[in-house]
Chain A
């Protein structure tokens, strides 16, 4: 299995609080992704990174920011969480060249 770890795996927090999710990889892959998965919507890209300090927005980036200060870590931050951001968040890694993405085990985030 690809070495990809998400933390935390579960989190419950209140509206208006900041939340940071971490994705850590040991594969030295160039590309890292954050998706959210909701019933009826499938996987939707929030942000992705194509290198250290290089990031780009996905289709549902509003309310989220990311940072990648080193190859192995990609952080997703919700500056002020809202109930609409309750979801399952998946991190994925890839090395491009049309190789498949490998997904972390997901973070289940509930915002009350």
Chain B
């Protein structure tokens, strides 16, 4: 079967660093996306990994290890506006552009 696991909830303090993990067991692997979703809003794209290693985009970085079926999203210098859900999504098949989403991690940033 196809499965993506993320922690349900995390709490962190404004100005801190937080790491949100995502592990996947899928029939294949053709890329992993991270999205941010504020309550009541649509998901928006944050980052993409297809090769092992770290991708950095300002305060956000994402890491991938394909051999371990593991990714993380690192958020630095946390701000109150970073309180949101973070969704991990995997494109499992090379023949289609269908994606499997994890259930998301709800991050609360406290003052």
Chain A residues at the B interface, C-beta cutoff of 8 Å: 31, 35, 40-45, 48, 50, 56, 58, 90, 94, 96, 98, 100-106
A94–B45 CA distance with the chains assembled, in angstroms: 12
Q: Are B33 and A100 in contact (CB under 8 A)?
A: yes
A90–B42 CA distance with the chains assembled, in angstroms: 8
Q: Are B96 and A50 in contact (CB under 8 A)?
A: yes
Q: Are B97 and A50 in contact (CB under 8 A)?
A: yes
Q: Are A98 and B48 in contact (CB under 8 A)?
A: yes
Q: Are B42 and A103 in contact (CB under 8 A)?
A: yes
Chain B residues at the A interface, C-beta cutoff of 8 Å: 30-31, 33, 35, 41-45, 48, 50, 87, 89, 91, 96-104
Distance (whole angstroms) from the CB of B39 to the closest CB of chain A: 11
- Apart from A42-B103, A90-B43, A100-B35: 5 A-B pairs, beta carbons within 8 A: A90-B42, A98-B48, A100-B48, A103-B42, A106-B41
Contact partners of B33 in chain A: CB under 8 A: 100-101
Distance (whole angstroms) from the CB of B48 to the closest CB of chain A: 6
A35–B100 CA distance with the chains assembled, in angstroms: 11
Distance (whole angstroms) from the CB of B8 to the closest CB of chain A: 9
Q: Are B98 and A105 in contact (CB under 8 A)?
A: no
A31–B97 CA distance with the chains assembled, in angstroms: 8
Q: Are B103 and A98 in contact (CB under 8 A)?
A: no
**Can you list 26 A-B contacts (CB < 8 A)?**
A31-B97, A35-B101, A40-B103, A42-B87, A42-B101, A42-B104, A43-B43, A43-B87, A44-B101, A45-B100, A48-B97, A48-B98, A50-B97, A56-B98, A58-B98, A90-B42, A98-B30, A98-B91, A100-B33, A100-B45, A101-B99, A102-B45, A103-B43, A104-B42, A105-B42, A106-B41
